[in-house]
Amino acid sequence: MTGLHADERWRAHWVPVDRRLLGMDRRTLLPAAVVVLLFVIAVWVVPAIDDRVAVDDPIRAGDVIQVGTDVQFVPVAGANLLAGLRQGQPGPAGIYPGTAAVSYGGVTFEVIADTYRGTPAELLAQIKKTNEGLRVPDDAGFHVTGDPVTITNGSGDHGVAADFEGTNGTGLVAAFVFGETGVEVEIVGPQQVPEGVTRQVVTMLQSVEPIGSGS
């Protein structure tokens, strides 16, 4: 009968003491460690890096952001485009998304457009009543607190706005209605904002208008 006897098979698989660590063959530890390392990188490290990489899409002079089919606004040069598309660069099938957002000087400026039949005051009252319109991250404890005031954009359209505040900052929510398109503008920032940033944000708010307004 050919083959190894039991003691010969044991000797073939026996690992000398100087090659053992915690009872395991040292030669198998490195490959196992590499496998574990690759698993950690794939599951945790890469997603974490992706989450920390900032979107870098700077606004240049002359850029106009289109929101849906009827609304546009002009971000300040140097702002960072977080969401949305530049006018003249639509998405598939020539469609522009109904939401666009930029950041500038620590302030996030977001414009949301959708079908709405009513007045700007009614739209703002709806937002204030439900707070569901406030799309700030995790709601962050934000609630509309200020009384509505009338605002006017660069083309003479009237809207309304109110302050809101939360645990991590303050903001302004504004409402316009252009024909049958309701527009919500959310401006969120820290408690203290440099005066220059405030002026630029006001200019962006005044630039929110219907396409073809001629301003």
pLDDT of 43 higher than 60:
no
- Looking at residue 44, what DSSP letter applies? I
- Asked if 147 contacts 124 with a C-beta cutoff of 8 angstroms, the reply is no
Domain with 31 in it: 6-52
- State how far Cα 36 lies from the chain centre: 33
How far apart, in Å, do the first and last CA atoms of the chain sit? 99
pLDDT of 38 higher than 60:
no
Radius of gyration of the chain (CA): 29
Q: Give residue 208's identity as a one-letter amino acid code.
A: V
pLDDT of 133 higher than 60:
no
Structural domains of the chain, count: 2
Nearest-CA neighbor of 187 among 179, 175, 195?
175
Does 130 lie in the same domain as 69?
Answer: yes
Tens digits of residue pLDDT in 142-174:
677 778 899 999 999 999 999 887 666 688 899
**In the structure encoding, which two tokens stand for residue 27, read together?**
């030669």
Does 88 lie in the same domain as 29?
Answer: no
Tens digits of residue pLDDT in 77-114:
999 999 999 999 999 889 999 999 999 999 999 999 99
pLDDT of 214 higher than 70:
no
Tens digits of residue pLDDT in 169-188:
688 899 999 999 999 999 98
Does 39 lie in the same domain as 107?
Answer: no
Residue 125 inside a domain? The answer is yes
Percent pLDDT > 90 in the chain is 47
Looking at mean pLDDT, say which of 8-12, 18-22, 56-60 comes out highest: 56-60
Residue 105 inside a domain? The answer is yes
Within 10 Å of residue 168's Cβ, how many Cβ atoms? 14
For residue 46, the model assigns a pLDDT of 46
pLDDT band with cut points at 50, 70 and 90 for residue 24: low
Does 150 lie in the same domain as 203?
Answer: yes
Q: How far apart are CA 155 and CA 74, in angstroms?
A: 13
Q: How far apart are CA 113 and CA 58, in angstroms?
A: 23
Q: How far apart are CA 126 and CA 129, in angstroms?
A: 5
Residue 57 inside a domain? The answer is no
pLDDT band with cut points at 50, 70 and 90 for residue 141: low
For residue 56, the model assigns a pLDDT of 84
For residue 164, the model assigns a pLDDT of 81
CATH of the domain at 79: 3.40.1000.10
Average pLDDT, the chain: 77
pLDDT of 44 higher than 50:
no
Residue 83 inside a domain? The answer is yes
pLDDT of 23 higher than 70:
no
- Asked if 47 contacts 38 with a C-beta cutoff of 8 angstroms, the reply is no
Does 145 lie in the same domain as 172?
Answer: yes
